[in-house]
Structure 1
Amino acid sequence: MHRPSRPEAEFAAELDAVRPDLSEPYAAALPGARAAVLSRLWRALAHEPLPWVEGREEGRDGLRVRLADGRRLEGPSADPYATTAYAAEVRLDGRPYDRPERLMTDLGVRHGPAFAAELAGSAASLALSRAGRRVQERPAETGWEWEQRVVDGHPYHPNCRSRPGFSVAEQLAYGPEHGQPVELRSAAVDDCLVTGAWPDFLRDGGRVLIPVHPWQADHVLDTPSHKGPTAHPLMSLRTLALPDGPHVKTALSARLTSSVRDISVYSITTSEAVSAFMASVAARTDGLLDVTRTLGAATAGSPDLAAVVREAPETYARGGERVVPVAALATTELPRSARWFARFTRLALTACLRLLDLGVALEAHGQNLLVVLSPAGDPVRLVYRDLADIRVSPARLARHGIPAPQLSGRIVTDDETALRRKLFGSLVGGSLGATAGSAAVLREALADAVRDLPRTPDLVALLEEPLPTKALTLMRLSPETPGDLWARLPNPVSEEGAEGRSF
């Protein structure tokens, strides 16, 4: 039952060669990493609309999941907002499993073996991240230092640390949690699409210099590249903070969690218009939310060779303030009382629901959404970054007399369900849920926060309907289905929505 999986054994062997000082901490971290990944998988088995799950029954001793083939899964009650590793073991027809990949393999479902391999890699990578994390001897002073304190990755995705194609040495060199500066490469391109004001330091005469992640240069590109600027990796791994302030988002043709992290030509083409539009709409939040502007974007006509340069979130800090990604809040030494969390929840809902009413749905998960803290540590404003996956509603904009941007494609939709899914799933099911860490804490904060909010149709939907969230495991088990798939979580506030339904 405790024999290492293949990725675990391979990681151990490579560690012995490249970082023997981490071999013992890595081995010690494995049981906790397996439990963390298994807990995320159990959350999916408990709440996602998996086609081979026939029913679920909650009892005093935990949760039972009935499979379509007659078998039964048993495990602890699955709070959909919990972030602790609460499922160290799950039983399938009475047989105990403490390895997520072995459970997935024995479930025998379509596409299960490939997903099982990713789960094994996720647990091994998570153990490596925990083993290699630096001891924090002082409070973070820069934005990238806050980001590098996020060790466990996505709070709810079983592939929270899956980095297929990355060796142990590469993870230690490029993973933000390991704290090493990364020397970017630079590819000189003659025929290049550029939008916005591409920085002078990324030009060589008439040629554009596209920043390239070193992993991309080594494993994907045939294009020659040369030494580029040294930067600090942020929690997305492929986005880095340059020494003089701006952030650069590089293309990384590797599957991290659910998606391959390249940069589409569509994103480059629309980046300038989206950035200018969002700056104007954010100004209507009465100072509650700022958006980091895209300074420039460039592509050589391929999603594998492209980059975006944007403002650093700290641009919007004033004297003594700190700008902290929401995903990093749980890792900080900052005091976060129930009163603090209620205030933060009220701030986030006020700003994001106002934007939704105007016609913009943010993907406000803990990586994209940042909170500005006063010198005393109180949440005072928000900053949002990475505009590639927002949704814009021309019909809602028109109701407020706001000219719609000249955009087409996936970013534009008037579908009410799509707009609410985008915001509610990322903000409440993501940022707020993960910061709360439990349904009970989230319920209390939401109940307090919504008392003084305008009772718009969006707020009514948020309070009275099951909460939409991405069905992350179903998506990985449905590679033939493009786009997002969804689940409905029990609504933390509404009794009517408490049972949750699949859709």
Structure 2
Amino acid sequence: MERVDLNLPPAADDTDRADAYAAAPLLNCLLREVAEPLADSRPHGTTAGPPGAGADAIRTYRLPGVDRLLRVRGDRRPADPEVYTAGAWHRVGHTELVKLVAEELRRDTGLTNHELPAEMIDSRDAVAALLAARARRTAPTDPYRRSEQSLVTGHPYHPAPKARGGGPVAGWLPYAPEAYASFPLVLLGLREDSVVEEGDTSALDALGEAPPGYRLLPAHPWQLELVDLTEAFADGRLVRLGTTDADTWPTAAIRTLYAPEQDLFLKFSLDVRITNDIRRLWRHDLLKLRRTDEAAGRALAGGPAAWLSDRGYRTAAFAFEELAVLVRDGLRGHLLPGATPLLAAGLVEGFEGDPLAGAADPAAWWEAYLAVVVPPALSAFAEHGVVLEAHLQNVLVAVDADGTPVQALFRDAEGVKLLTDVDRAAGWERLVYCLVVNHLSEVAAALAEHHPGLDPWPAARRALARHDLPETAALLASPTLPGKTNLLLRWTGADGADARYLPLPNPLAG
């Protein structure tokens, strides 16, 4: 049967393309967390594989719960799933794959879950809508925006990375970064006796003008469609003031928008499950925001790495989480002169002008990448007790005119952990997962795929070995790395922040 390539041109069959995009991360989860590799298959995990072996390799696994054989083509983004039945291999479409995964997990865990299969189907349907929208629209000319809005696959190890809460496409597509969306903010007036804020929120007041007795409160238009504020508008605690004059555009995080004219990021609450969590600005996170943000800022002071500060938040006392807006630093005050920021996850996914794919000297490019990303994350941990959430979607890598990495910018205080609050071993495990498994392993695999013959792991070992920490020495000697189990977390109904890990082969262990 004809192979479905994730890089097929838009003229390819839309159903096949959507199935391929949606199946790849679901298969990654299944092969990492549940399946048993057979003798002819390397365990599926985080390694880039032998040079040149990833794209067309066929790997076979046993699904222990249903006692069936499954084989896939490729490594980093597995495709073309087939199961062995009645003496032959049979192709499995996305719908059949979802049923197979659900039955495997039901037998493996003894638990049923009706929500997750629906999310998997929703994710696939969302991909189809995104592909159709992208085919009708022109990609942004700004390379930074292109990198943030390139994630059609999304989280490569989540069973439903593109699910949008099961709502109709018309409800969410106008706000989808993957569809190159841009739109103005809704401006609300919040009565002064209902305002709750902390930190520096002055940038919000520059977005418009509030009437006497009110403060300006911007809102994401999708946010307002998801929450009932009828009473607050009726009794005057809220008034509508129109929209901003200029558009904002959504970053890869969907609920975080960039206002280019103000050079400002704004993060909102959305009552929608996106990957593992309902994406609200939770009260407990907002109340500790200043402390974690200031600690991260101190840890990254003195550059060239930078911290995009979550300066403060403003919200309504009667809808504390629902209407919260977080004010985050923009880019211009942090970037090195002449540098162009790019989302690390976008480098892995790929976009027009992606310097990872186009590197003339990929080994030197990788050395430069490691030099800007690894030292600040390890120094923050070792010298300041700060565990940065240094995964692919929280790191911007700035490149010079030749596309060479020259700076890393870290963001999102909500995901930062402090060693004063968490056990050091748990903090280190989280850092290793975010920085090495989620981030460096994916960049390494993409680099090896684009540049056959390159082995990225010796350089990564050297970069980590330069830091004289007992934890790094143990990491380089360990046979395994911690891999987050997103499929099992969602199937068992665990809290989204309750990370659980399983051991994966460690390509750093020489």
Q: TM-score surpassing 0.5?
A: yes
Count of aligned residue pairs for this structure pair: 443
Match of residue 217 from structure 1: 224
Which residue of 295, 298, 307 corresponds with 1:291?
307
Q: Secondary structure at the match of 1:183?
A: coil
Distance between the aligned counterparts of 2:18 and 2:456, measured in 1?
A: 25
Distance between the aligned counterparts of 1:108 and 1:341, measured in 2?
A: 38
| Residues 437, 482 of structure 2: 8 Å contact kept | yes
Match of residue 231 from structure 1: 248
CA-CA distance at 1:239 after TM superposition:
0.8
CA-CA distance at 1:392 after TM superposition:
0.7
Q: Secondary structure at the match of 1:182?
A: coil
The worse-fitting range, judged by mean Cα deviation, of 120-129 and 163-172 is 163-172
Which residue of 258, 261, 271 corresponds with 1:241?
258
Match of residue 481 from structure 2: 467
Distance between the aligned counterparts of 1:172 and 1:30, measured in 2?
A: 18
Which residue of 309, 331, 344 corresponds with 2:351?
331
| Residues 129, 177 of structure 1: 8 Å contact kept | yes
Match of residue 276 from structure 1: 294
Q: Does 1:490 align with 2:505?
A: yes
Q: Does 1:154 align with 2:159?
A: no
Match of residue 59 from structure 1: 40
CA-CA distance at 1:214 after TM superposition:
1.4
Q: Does 1:97 align with 2:111?
A: no
Q: Secondary structure at the match of 2:163?
A: coil
Matches within 5 A, 1:69-468: 71-76=67-72, 79=75, 82=76, 84=77, 86-91=78-83, 96-99=91-94, 100-107=97-104, 109=106, 110-133=111-134, 140-141=141-142, 143-190=144-191, 191-199=194-202, 200-201=205-206, 204=210, 205-222=212-229, 223-224=232-233, 226=240, 227-229=242-244, 230-242=247-259, 243-283=261-301, 286-301=302-317, 302-329=320-347, 330-333=350-353, 334=355, 335-336=358-359, 337-358=362-383, 359-394=385-420, 412-413=421-422, 415-437=423-445, 441-450=455-464, 453-465=466-478, 466-468=480-482
Q: Secondary structure at the match of 2:487?
A: helix
Which amino acid is 1:57 matched to? L
Higher relative contact order (CA 8 A, sep 6+): 2
The worse-fitting range, judged by mean Cα deviation, of 361-370 and 138-147 is 138-147
Q: Does 1:47 align with 2:27?
A: no
User: Could you say if the C-alpha distance between residues 381 and 249 of structure 1 is closer, same or farther in structure 2, counting changes exceeding 3 Å?
Assistant: same
| Residues 75, 87 of structure 1: 8 Å contact kept | no
TM-score normalised by L of structure 2: 0.79
CA-CA distance at 1:108 after TM superposition:
6.2
Match of residue 399 from structure 1: none
Q: Secondary structure at the match of 1:469?
A: strand
Q: Secondary structure at the match of 2:431?
A: helix
C-alpha offsets along residues 311-332 of structure 1, whole Å, 9 cap, x if unaligned?
A: 1134312332111111122324
TM-score normalised by L of structure 1: 0.80
User: Could you say if the C-alpha distance between residues 487 and 219 of structure 1 is closer, same or farther in structure 2, counting changes exceeding 3 Å?
Assistant: same
Which amino acid is 1:103 matched to? L
C-alpha offsets along residues 133-162 of structure 1, whole Å, 9 cap, x if unaligned?
A: 268978843643431233332232221211
| Structure 2 unaligned spans of 5+ | 2-8, 42-57, 234-238, 449-453
User: Could you say if the C-alpha distance between residues 480 and 448 of structure 1 is closer, same or farther in structure 2, counting changes exceeding 3 Å?
Assistant: closer
Distance between the aligned counterparts of 1:160 and 1:419, measured in 2?
A: 25
| Structure 1 unaligned spans of 5+ | 2-23, 395-411, 496-503
* CA RMSD, Structure 1 to Structure 2 (Å): 2.9
User: Could you say if the C-alpha distance between residues 313 and 474 of structure 1 is closer, same or farther in structure 2, counting changes exceeding 3 Å?
Assistant: farther
CA-CA distance at 1:344 after TM superposition:
0.4
Match of residue 20 from structure 1: none
Distance between the aligned counterparts of 1:151 and 1:56, measured in 2?
A: 28
Distance between the aligned counterparts of 1:126 and 1:433, measured in 2?
A: 24
Distance between the aligned counterparts of 1:108 and 1:273, measured in 2?
A: 40
